[in-house]
Chain A
């Protein structure tokens, strides 16, 4: 279901079909209900409700633990009402049947939890299932009696399912208002630490001493947000967005430039006013953003799936460490220099480029999926080599290289204890990487990458040396990763082989895909959202409580995105077209934009002068 498919300008007005309250596919709804039940049980047994229960969202009513269960019936209720809108087919009128269907799904799901409550009481399966605990049972009983829990969940889930489905029934305006209200309240509740870090006056104002919003402030925020959304607050934003899209030519350039200037200004000022936690978070986002920008060129522009991308990060980090730290392995000869950071950076870039060539040359001609596995293999080989005792004389094996000094620029020192400095350094290199991506995309090189992605053998027939072009992308990606590695070394002050697991490659890949493959803004958004909220491979994000579940969410996110929206959150228009070809063509045809054969050729000549006056 993409936004392209249902275009209100084009869909002719058709009679909405009315159906009775029970006239829906009961079998499908039951199936959804069972899936909901299984999902709820899984979430319980994975430990999320108990683990997150200490984090209050609205004191004392709602904790994050309960929310981890409650969102599921709401979501499935909503999804059950998603009907595919086919052009030219009548749609069913929204009404009671949606609500009943949602309630049914919720009911069956809730019964699944009732089942779990019974099982918790009768058996002790703690042996394999570590979260099978009395705490879980208590939580499911709402700290009341067994019977209460047994009845409460089906009713609660049925209500939520009905509410979720009900969102389809209310008009779009009301729906938007409800959804944004919900999201606003949740944002205030969940991102408490972050908000308080910036606006600490809010701490006493709206938050409870035990954490979480007070009930009153939750109600107030909900009311305000509802009113704003309903009575026009959003219009200003959407109006501005529409005018930005419509602008062309020089007006657009000035608008874009202003936007970029304002964002840059914000990025420079924010770290100065926020606390250490936010600065650390921004620094982490930045380091992974650099990696994501590099992988974006390799995967997004050239279409090469490099699963071993972490190898360049590792080489970058180790090279910098070896060149700057006095604690490098004992096998390095006496005359081996110790350089300042920026000197080490130059060598690191060269070394990474060479490694990129070395790894790239054998793999670049392989089939796409073989290439993925082989690069994965290279990534592992490099990590194993850095970890090995054989090369321990150079890299200290598992002990790693410690005592990497701060990056000294004379006027400033960049080290891990001062995350703000790290962030500014990252900002500089991010700007460089963004500039590189942006210019390359619009160049001869970028066009050749696009052609290779489209049809590699035809690209070759049109004169493009595909091997060299792909290798070039590979090397550029390696160089950008080396930036990140060098900064990482200075930030952490030491380099260990455990920082360079394949996990890192996969997380960067998720960031690029979720954000938007091939799209610089998308990658930035992806990095900010994923690394910022969920956290990096070993670094906590805003939702530090989720660190245990973070990787599970990354995996689920990747699957969901590939199934629903492979072009990412902020799609590249072109990529979106590629991935949804059929829908795009249908839409273009309906809008009358598709070429037909009977247009006037005008004067057939050999230059644009003979064309439309």
Chain B
């Protein structure tokens, strides 16, 4: 069976530093894969590779059988991969609704002609965009809808910003969703709620999810499979229990205990 996302021997160097070294990775449809690893392991670089923002030096990225190397980020999104950012990067001065509307750009096609002549097709598409946007926002409860729709995104609290970030990625109608530290900075209650939501993203919306996270509770609760990266290489793969008890993984996070240094 072919994987939905297949990454073979992916490498990238930044001026002599190997950020990723012959990385192998795959995701099957419907999976939720957690990516963990200490800081500087190359996790976000990994996401940047997949989403097309950085070009690899060598290796292959196959999404649904087709190569993604050399594509522009917008082409990657169009093929069906969408992502969030580690440091929330919303369109702060656009309204909350506009953030999720503009994310549907690559799924819509009305251009100058439609806009200028306010054609039926244009109005219909605008309506659909709006409805889909509200639907996506509604996934997070009442927080991002109602009177909030027309407020600029900059007024949102931190947790709501993270939620909007995810909503925006959802709005691009992807098949694969890359979440970069979705619960970073959230309190335990919010993290628990979001963990449940991530599960529902898969069960109700059908997304396949790859998630970078540091919060092990979240990783344990929602991942089918866990991959640990360190220094640009895969350190361990498997279920959460397997990976979290792997001695190499523990050493990567905590360092080697003194007795072993003989």
Contact = CB atoms under 8 A, between A and B. Distances in A.
Interface of A: 435-436, 439-440, 442-448, 450-451, 454-455, 457-466, 472, 476, 574, 577-578, 581, 584-585, 588, 593-597, 599-612
A611 B105 contact: no
A464 B106 contact: yes
Among all A-B residue pairs, the 8 with the closest Cβ atoms:
A463-B106, A443-B115, A602-B142, A463-B77, A601-B141, A611-B142, A454-B91, A604-B141
B118 A451 contact: no
7 contacts: A447-B101, A463-B77, A463-B172, A465-B72, A465-B74, A577-B93, A601-B143
A490 B77 CA distance: 48
B93 A578 contact: yes
B25 interface: no
Interface in B57-90: 72-74, 77-78, 82-83, 85, 89
A612 B105 contact: no
A461 B73 contact: yes
Given A461-B77, A604-B141, A612-B142, 12 more contacts: A443-B122, A460-B74, A461-B74, A462-B82, A581-B93, A593-B151, A597-B190, A605-B141, A606-B200, A606-B204, A608-B135, A608-B145
B115 A444 contact: yes
A434 to B, nearest CB: 12
A606 B102 contact: no
B108 interface: yes
Contacts of A436: 116
Nearest to B190: A597
B115 A462 contact: no
**Which of B74, B145, B152 lies at the interface centre, i.e. has the most chain A CB atoms within 10 A of its CB?**
B74
Contacts of A606: 135, 138-139, 200, 204-205
A439 B116 contact: yes
A307 B60 CA distance: 43
Given A450-B94, A454-B93, A607-B138, A464 B116 contact: no
Given A455-B91, A600-B142, A604-B141, A440 B115 contact: yes
Interface stretch (B30-38, B155-163, B211-219, B238-246): B155-163
Contact of B157 (A463, A597, A609, A610): A597
B159 A597 contact: yes
A612 B146 contact: yes
A612 B143 CA distance: 9
A143 B86 CA distance: 73
A461 B91 CA distance: 12
A447 B102 contact: yes
Nearest to B117: A439
Contact of B91 (A458, A466, A604): A458
A604 B193 contact: yes
A42 B34 CA distance: 69
Interface of B is mostly: helix
A574 B93 CA distance: 6
B92 interface: yes
A577 B94 CA distance: 10
Contact of B112 (A445, A458, A611): A445
Contacts of B146: 611-612
Q: Which of A593, A597, A605 has the most CB of B within 10 A?
A: A597
A488 B111 CA distance: 30
A596 B190 CA distance: 13
Nearest to A575: B93
Contacts of B105: 444, 447-448, 451, 462-464
B195 interface: no
How big is the B interface, by class?
35 or more
A464 B168 CA distance: 13
B134 interface: yes
Given A594-B155, A611-B138, A439 B89 contact: no
Nearest to A581: B154
A444 B113 CA distance: 12
A182 to B, nearest CB: 37
Contacts of A442: 115
A448 B154 CA distance: 18
A443 B110 contact: yes
Interface in B172-204: 172, 187, 190, 193, 197, 200, 204
A201 B193 CA distance: 77
A226 to B, nearest CB: 42
A578 B200 CA distance: 35
Nearest to B152: A577
Q: Indicate the member of A448, A451, A585, A594 with the most B CB atoms within 10 Å.
A: A451
B129 interface: yes
A462 B103 contact: yes
Contact of B155 (A435, A461, A593, A600): A593
A107 B194 CA distance: 67
A470 to B, nearest CB: 12
B4 interface: no
Residue of B51, B77, B200 contacting most chain A CB atoms (<10 Å):
B77
Contacts of B3: none
Nearest to A450: B94
A605 B137 CA distance: 10
A594 B51 CA distance: 32
A594 B137 CA distance: 18
A574 B152 CA distance: 9
A454 B102 CA distance: 12
B107 interface: yes
Contact of B85 (A458, A596, A609): A458
A454 B200 CA distance: 31
Nearest to A435: B116
Nearest to A449: B102
B138 A605 contact: yes
Nearest to B161: A595
A306 B134 CA distance: 37
B139 A462 contact: no
A339 B114 CA distance: 30
A595 B141 contact: no
Contacts of B190: 597
Interface string B222-256: 00000000000000000000000000000000000
B142 A601 contact: yes
A229 to B, nearest CB: 36
A461 B51 contact: yes
Given A443-B110, A457-B53, A462 B157 contact: no
A380 B150 CA distance: 44
B91 A599 contact: no
Contacts of A611: 138, 141-142, 145-146
